[in-house]
Structure 1
Amino acid sequence: MNFDLECRDLVKAYGAFKAVDGISVGIPQGSFFSILGPSGCGKTTALRLVAGFGEPTSGDILIKGRSVLKTPPNKRPVNMVFQHLALFPMMSVAENIGYGLRRRGMAREEIAKRVSDILARVDLPKAGDKRIDQLSGGQKQRIAIARCMVLDPAVLLLDEPLGALDLKLREHMKVELKQLQHQFGTTFIYITHDQSEALVMSDQVAVMNHGRFEQVGTPQELYFNPKTAFVAGFVGDSNRWAGKVASSGGQALRVERADGTVLNGIGDQGRALPAGEAVEIFVRPEEISIEPAGTTPLPADGTNQLQGQVESFLFNGAMSRVLVSCGAGAPVSVAFAHDSGIGNFAVGQPVSLRFAPAKCRCFPKA
C-alpha cells in the first residue's frame, strides 16, 4: 500500500515527560485521517512534528516514502490550516490565496490563473476581490483551505479548524470539509477533540491518550469494537459501571457490581480476565431496551436485566433519551427514536431494562 505519511516509533520528550510516546502509523494516499483525543493528549504536538515545527526526540517521519527529519518546514510537501485560520486581514481574498505562490517567485499571470481555479473549486469564484472581514465563518474556512491547496501539498494538516465556529455552522462544515477532501483527493490529517467531527468525516481515526495511539481503525470499528476502556468511554456515549469478575469462561464473563447485581458480558479480547479482577463495564444507550416492569419473562439466553424507575426524559429531536434510576450510582441512559413509544412512560414508573451479553463490554479497570 502507498502511504502519503508514515510515523515510525515517533517520540517527543520534554525531560522525563513524553508528549508523543512511540506512535507508529501509515496513512494511505488520498485518505481523511483524524487524530482524536482530549486536550493535552499530544495530538497537536504530533501534528507539529509532521509539519516540521519541532524535532522528534526519536523515530522517523516519512512523506511519500522519504524521511523529512532533516527537511525544514517550508521545504516539506505539507501545508497547515490552523484553528484561527491565520488569514491576513490587510490582504484581499485573492492576495491571501496567492501569498505562498508569490513567495515561490511564480509569475503574476500564473498566480492569477491558479487563484481563479482554486476559488472555483471551493465554490467562491467571485470572492477574489473581497476583504477577509466581508466573509462568513464558513467562507473563511474555505479560503484557508484554498490558500493551502493552491500550493499542491502532498498532505494537508488541519489543527481543530472548526473549533471557533458556532454549532450549526460546525455541523455544516463537517460535511463540506469531507466533500472538499474527496474533490481534491489530497490526504487530510485532522486534529480534533470532538468525536462527532472525527466519526463523520474520517476514513480512519486514531484515538490518542497520554501520547499514545490507543486504537486506530474506521469509525465503525472504534464505535462497535473498542479495544480499550478509554476508547469505549471516549468514542460515543456509554453507560459505565465498575465491578469484579465473578466467573470467566473464555471471553464470556459474569461480573458482579458493587450493589450485588450480576451482569453477563464479554471480556477484553487482548487477554483473559480472571475471577476477582476489577473491571469496567460499558453498554451503549441504544443497545438497551425498556418496558414496563413485569411485562414479559426474562429469556433464558443470559440477557441482562436491571429494574428501576423512570427519572426523566431528555428530548433531542430524532433520537432522545430516558434516564432510569436503578439504585445507587448514576441513572442508566436509554436512547430511543422519538416515534418508538418510549416517551409514553411516566416519570416514576417502574421499568425493566434489558441488554444482550454481547453488547456488555468489559475491560480491566485502569
Structure 2
Amino acid sequence: MNDINNCRRLSVEKAGGIGPSAEPVDECAELSGNQTTLNRSIDCAGVALHSGKKVSLSLKPAGPNMGIIFRRSDLPGLPEIRANWKNVVDTRMCTTLGNSKGVTISTVEHLMAALSGCHVDNAIVEVSGSEVPVMDGSAQPFVFLIECAGVKQLDASRRVIEVLRPVKVESEGRVAELLPSNSFSVGFQIEFDDCAISRQELFITLVNGTFKKEIARARTFGFVNDVEALRASGLALGGSLENAVVVDGDKVLNDGGLRYEDEFVRHKVLDAVGDLYLSGAPIRGHYRGVRAGHHMTNELLKALFAESASWRFIGHAGEEVSSSRGHMIGTTESFNPMAATA
C-alpha cells in the first residue's frame, strides 16, 4: 500500500490546517543523545530512475545498533545489504551497495540523505527491486514518509564520528575533504559549461532542521545532450521532467522552473549528505566538495577510516566512547563503521 496520500491527509490534520498551505508536523527535529528508529512502518511506490521499473519501498523500525539495512523483498530469502561505505560496489550515476553474495541495491543516496537529515539511526528498508524509487528526484518524499511514520528514541546512546584531523582526496580537479568542526556542515562548489548552472557555491551548517528547509527539496539534474547516450546504455530509463531538472544550455526545461535559485549545488550537497551517512553514524565535521561526486565521497570515507588517528567515536555531549580504531564498547559489531557484514 502507498502511504503517501494517507500521510498527507493525516499531516494536515495534525498541523491544524486544511488545504495545500498546511505543513506536516516536523518529526525530524534533533532529539537527545539516544539512538532513534521509526515509530511505525510506512510504504510508498515509485519508478526506478535507471531501470524505469515500478518499485515498492517500505521503511520499518529496527532495534538499537542495527544501523540502516536494505532488504530485497523481491528475492528469495529476503537478502540484506548493510548501508556501509565498505559495501559500495558502483558509483557511476548513483551509489550502489552490494553484499558478499552479489545482491545489489542502487540509487540509495537520496533516501540515505533523508534518514541522516531526520536523525534516524536504525531502520530496515525493504525494496521490491534493485533500485530505490526516485520519487520526485529529491529527498523530500522520503522526509515526508519519515515524518508520517514518526521517529522514536531507543534505549541506547547515539555515537557520533568526530573528525580529528583533515582528510582529503583529489583527482583531476575534483576534491573531497573532511575537516574538524564543532558541528556537521557542508561546503560545495560546482561548475558546468551550461549557462543555466555555470558556477555555484554553497556553505551550510546542517542543524535545527536546516536539511529539511534548505536541502531536501533539491532535485537531481541532467542534460538534454546526455539523454540519448544514457538510455542507449540502459540508464535513466525512468527519468523525466517529473523527477529531474533537465538543462538545455541556458534553459531549464521544467515548466515550474527551479525550487531554489541554486538548486543544482543544493542537490550536490544532498548527495554528499546521503553518501556520508554510509559511514554508519552521524559525522561531526565539515565536508568540502569541489566538483565531487559519489565516487570521491566514498574514497574520502575510505581515507578517513584508513587512519585511526583521523577519527573517533564520541557521545552526544562530546565525550569519547570507544577507541578510534572502531572497536566498539558495549555495542554490536554491526554498528561499527569498519564492519560491512550483510
TM-score tier, shorter chain, comes to under 0.3
Higher relative contact order (CA 8 A, sep 6+): 2
Q: TM-score, normalised by structure 1?
A: 0.21
Q: Which structure features the higher share of strand residues?
A: 1
Structure possessing the higher radius of gyration over alpha carbons: 1
TM-score (norm 2): 0.22
